[in-house]
Structure 1
């Protein structure tokens, strides 16, 4: 038996905008293609991006251009900056967190930066925005649940392309009840069979040159991307090196940790010496960042600047975050 008072359809679609090629392609289709709008965002629509504070200059230039074009088209675009109060005090930006906590992002650590700098600020902002626009409460996600109960689950449009299906998170497995009851993630690029190259082609057709979006101080940079950073953003790279050095100095006591068995007894090698391990991890584990920079420089020194730029543009940047 159908509930006569249940909401019909979905009133609101939110585009989670990362300013990279995939989410930019989604926005262009929304602006230009009535069929796309009818299928994926037929009613209320808003574009939102949370600022990590560590994007490349070209990305911020692109965001400013997108803001202008959205305003001209009557589309609301919100860039969440730390000053708005939706970032946590610890995670005002990526480097702020590293500097204030004396730590560093590392491939050896669990990845939390996307959740802390992008996802959490977006949903904090979203509840506040819903309370102002639709009159729901604003109280620890209760307002998001209230909105969904009244108007249907919120469609969260996410720029994950064909070939990246493993990044599509199952909403039923989300640990937060408010999310399971209120949010419906949608992946139009996967539905339409559009991979990263197809997104690039669409953007090219509009005269747009959009670089992949990622933080400059990201431990998941490939070697060509690290060389790109060395050539074009040396000051940002030098700061990153200093942040890693400060972390390694702070945790120097972990540079030679005694390895123990299940009973807590020290393990020994064949010569009877106590085994020790370096657990003072930097950006790339136990290999210091300066060593990785030198390695990337030696490997790609024969590449021209144009080669490095073309690689970064065409390959994109993906750390396999699922959401």
Structure 2
């Protein structure tokens, strides 16, 4: 790995990295760097949860080949397979934001730890290693990597710092004035018009349009989601084997109905919430459908509690 300069304090970033989700915005950022519109990255890091849509993995491999021609290596980092880990009674419990139906009929949302565990921790660990200071070595004050995050102007409220000194987030799309529509236009012009949203297949934040896309475009992923939804109805296996008292039932769909019984073909009523939508318009009906756009993009989590990770890239507390 060639750095921009030796990791010397106060000389600017030692590395330029891209947090690559292989979705619309981060793909745009990578292509901009390949073209020289923005400075080249020393590496693009894809944090793999092990349960992305197959279309995302296909796009990732295409980007890997494309970026290599521009001298930008695309590297995959991972903390494991989120679906397999959640269903493994022996694996340490990590909470996904499942929808809960309580015994009294009220609904809620489980804690969200998955972003920190499967995205932020492996990205920070990789950054430390590339800087030359793997845990437990301390990164000297003033030595840092600059990390580009694919957040567009219509998502400006999601732009956040990394929370550690050795990694400083920057937002090229904000600097260029790119919104999501401009990103889609840009990708279409360059033959990447089929790029899809990057989010776990079984993400509980999907709206009806998101779930319908999985069902209609990723049959294997849909089957896995239905099986997973059924398996976690009464809690995660690890939690139940540890004797933790679990109340109510757990669901992937916000209606708190079994995923394979939800009517996904009737467009949901437009949300009155002032936020962006995961998939804004149903391609068949043209009707906007509610869906949380945040997905599991690192450093843009709106779970209600902050994702807190130590400087060494290890989980400090549940979030």
Fold equivalence (TM over 0.5): yes
Superposition TM-score, scaled by structure 2 size? 0.69
Match of 2:295 in 1: 319
Q: Deviations over 1:234-270 (max 9, x none)?
A: 333233222222222458xxxxxxxxxxxxxxxxxxx
Q: Which structure has greater helix proportion?
A: 1
The question of whether the paired residues in 1 share the 8 Å contact of 2:161 and 2:168 is answered with no
Structure 1, 21-30 or 107-116: larger mean CA deviation: 107-116
Match of 1:109 in 2: 110
Q: 2 CA distance for matches of 1:30 and 1:234? A: 34
Aligned residues: 255
Q: How has the CA–CA distance of structure 1 residues 114 and 11 changed in structure 2, closer, same or farther, with 3 Å as cutoff?
A: same
The question of whether the paired residues in 1 share the 8 Å contact of 2:45 and 2:75 is answered with yes
1:160 and 2:151 equivalent? yes
Q: 2 CA distance for matches of 1:194 and 1:218? A: 26
Q: 1 CA distance for matches of 2:296 and 2:119? A: 15
Structure with higher Rg: it is 1
Unmatched 5+ stretches in structure 1:
132-136, 252-277, 301-305
Shift of the alpha carbon at 1:192? 1.9
Match of 1:120 in 2: 121
Match of 1:16 in 2: 19
Match of 1:215 in 2: 200
Match of 1:139 in 2: 135
Shift of the alpha carbon at 1:207? 1.5
Shift of the alpha carbon at 1:126? 2.4
The question of whether the paired residues in 2 share the 8 Å contact of 1:105 and 1:282 is answered with no
Q: How has the CA–CA distance of structure 1 residues 66 and 250 changed in structure 2, closer, same or farther, with 3 Å as cutoff?
A: closer
Unmatched 5+ stretches in structure 2:
1-7, 100-108, 237-246, 269-281, 301-319
Match of 1:232 in 2: 217
Superposition TM-score, scaled by structure 1 size? 0.69
CA RMSD of aligned residues (A): 3.2
Paired residue for 2:84, among 78, 96, 103? 96
Match of 2:179 in 1: 195
Paired residue for 2:51, among 49, 54, 73? 54
Q: How has the CA–CA distance of structure 1 residues 31 and 56 changed in structure 2, closer, same or farther, with 3 Å as cutoff?
A: same
1:63 and 2:73 equivalent? no
Q: Counterpart of 2:17 in 1: which secondary structure?
A: strand
Q: 2 CA distance for matches of 1:120 and 1:98? A: 17
Q: 2 CA distance for matches of 1:185 and 1:73? A: 22
Q: 2 CA distance for matches of 1:27 and 1:286? A: 37
Q: 1 CA distance for matches of 2:292 and 2:254? A: 23
Q: Deviations over 1:171-220 (max 9, x none)?
A: 5xx3xxxx1x2221101111221110111111111111211111111101
Q: Counterpart of 1:164 in 2: which secondary structure?
A: helix
Q: Deviations over 1:2-30 (max 9, x none)?
A: xxx95222231110100011111111111
Q: 2 CA distance for matches of 1:73 and 1:310? A: 38
Q: Counterpart of 1:245 in 2: which secondary structure?
A: helix
The question of whether the paired residues in 1 share the 8 Å contact of 2:53 and 2:201 is answered with yes
